[in-house]
């Protein structure tokens, strides 16, 4: 991951909205970087051995994880179990992918899904340029969990409701009717 004493830019700390791509050759990351508007998301192109560093470099956590590996690097699983990270996979979903992860047989379908998640608009909320969510009325909400819920809508995440406390606080008094709520049937948390 380092050349001499230089750390790869893709592994440097990043506070803007990030999409981490795990692949062996980088082709998937190149495609997504050229497809998605760069002012709205930073694409980090990482190899399997860099997965842990790449995910940890995204503050507070990656907006989305994309990959095409046959196996999910085990070091990534704790982050996926703790945080609402969107997950898209090209090819069969590997063991360890969270239940909300989506797998695609074609690159074009995966790229469309990533693009739609970036452009999502829910009850007047949309992802702001760079990071956070633009609320109706113009306020900027910085909550990464709200950002994840907006992008995943109408689906959600199989995570504890308390994970979305910051999202609920941002929505309080915002004029938006939706709140993070647990679906009694699926157990997933989504905006309802």
Binding positions for another protein, rule: CB under 8 A: 3-4, 6-10, 12, 14-16, 25-27, 29-30, 33, 38-39, 42-46, 128-132, 134-135, 138-142
Strands 121-122, 125-127: parallel, antiparallel or unpaired by DSSP?
Answer: antiparallel
What one-character DSSP code corresponds to residue 58? B
Residue 6 or 185: the one with the smaller Cβ distance to another protein is 6
Q: How far is the CB of 72 from another protein (least distance, A)?
A: 21
> Please, which residue, 134 or 168, has the CB nearer to another protein?
134
Residue 2 or residue 154: which is nearer to another protein going by CB? 2
Q: Which pair of tokens denotes residue 91?
A: 């090819």
Nearer to another protein, 3 or 185 (CB): 3
CB of residue 133 vs another protein: minimum separation in angstroms? 8
The secondary structure of residue 181, as a DSSP letter, is: E
The pairing of strands 180-182 and 189-191 is antiparallel
**Rounded CA separation 39/147 (Å):** 16
Q: Are 62 and 20 in contact (CB under 8 A)?
A: yes
Q: Report the nearest approach of another protein to the CB of residue 21 (Å).
A: 9
Minimum CB–partner distance for residue 139 and another protein (Å): 6
Contacts of 190 (CB under 8 A, 6+ apart): 149, 152, 153, 154, 155, 156, 157, 180, 181, 183
The minimum distance between CB 60 and another protein, in angstroms, equals 11
* Nearest to another protein of 46, 72 (CB atom): 46
Asked if 12 contacts 41 with a C-beta cutoff of 8 angstroms, the reply is no
């Amino acid at each position: 991951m380092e050349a001499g004493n230089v750390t790869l830019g893709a592994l440097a700390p990043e506070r803007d909205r990030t999409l981490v791509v795990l692949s062996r050759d980088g082709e998937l990351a190149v495609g997504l970087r050229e497809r998605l508007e760069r002012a709205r998301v930073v694409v980090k192109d990482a190899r399997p051995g860099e997965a842990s560093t790449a995910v940890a470099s995204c503050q507070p956590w990656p907006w989305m994880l994309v990959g095409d590996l046959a196996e999910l690097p085990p070091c990534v699983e704790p982050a996926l179990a703790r945080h609402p990270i969107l997950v898209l996979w090209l090819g069969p979903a590997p063991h360890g992918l969270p239940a909300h992860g989506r797998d695609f047989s074609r690159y074009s379908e995966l790229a469309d899904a990533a693009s739609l998640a970036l452009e999502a608009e829910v009850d007047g909320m949309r992802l702001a340029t760079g990071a956070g969510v633009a609320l109706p009325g113009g306020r900027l909400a910085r909550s990464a969990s709200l950002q994840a819920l907006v992008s995943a809508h109408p689906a959600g995440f199989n995570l504890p409701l308390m994970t979305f406390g910051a999202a609920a606080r941002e929505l309080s008094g915002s004029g938006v009717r939706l709140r993070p709520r647990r679906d009694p049937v699926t157990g997933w948390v989504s905006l309802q």
